[in-house]
Amino acid sequence: MKYFEVTFTAQPCNEIVTDVLSALAGEIGFESFVECEGGVQAYVQQSLFDENALKETLANFPIPDTQITYTITEPEDKDWNEEWEKNFFQPIVIEDRCVIHSTFHHDYPQAEYDIVINPQMAFGTGHHETTSSILGELLDADLKGKSVLDMECGTSILAILASMRGADPVTAIDIDDWCVNNSRDNIALNNISN
């Protein structure tokens, strides 16, 4: 698949603006987002890109007094997953008790809970603020014998930690085939059976 890289520059630029911008772009076909200085880089399949829809979305941006410009480039063909894994996905430690890393990480801190994931095309490495906050809550909660549902599970890191903490049963659900397959792989990597 061929993609366009659209670099959005926002003025003023803050977390709320970039989150809203990413959410709105996701509604018109953009698939992945990387925060960059002054905005967001977003990727959309060329066959799905609709510049008129993008212009309309930006014209109706819901945060007053926000100026957004964009440039469109066609990135070279390469294994973007591999690039992302090498350059962006670093091990993450949650509350000094849980470490999340991939099989390609060789130097990572030790922790009480060690979660191994291969993110592939699924969302959920623990770096997003919401995910890391929920992981922290799961570390503090008494989960023994409790039912847990990880809805729109992505990589299933929330379900994996809940299971490691004694939750049973644990259910992970996603409608995206990439996420379902990636979750199965990650659950197996962590020897989770419930």
Per domain, the residue ranges of the chain are: 3-77, 82-189
Nearest to 157 by CA among 142, 170, 145: 170
| Encoded tokens for 169 | 């049963």
Q: pLDDT tens digits, residue range 55-97?
A: 999 999 999 999 999 999 998 766 656 666 666 678 889 999 9
Q: pLDDT tens digits, residue range 95-131?
A: 999 999 988 888 888 999 999 998 676 567 777 888 8
| Encoded tokens for 116 | 């191994």
82-189: CATH topology is: Rossmann fold (3.40.50)
DSSP structure class, residue 135: H
Q: Which CATH class name applies to 3-77?
A: alpha beta
- Mean of per-residue pLDDT scores for the chain: 90
pTM of the shown model: 0.60
Q: Is 82-189 the same fold as 3-77?
A: no
| Identity at 186, one-letter amino acid code | N
Q: pLDDT tens digits, residue range 34-54?
A: 889 999 999 999 999 999 999
The answer to whether 100 and 92 have CB atoms below 8 angstroms apart is yes
Bridge partners (DSSP) of residue 99 are 93, 114
pLDDT exceeds cutoff 60 at 1: yes
Strands 98-101 and 92-94: antiparallel
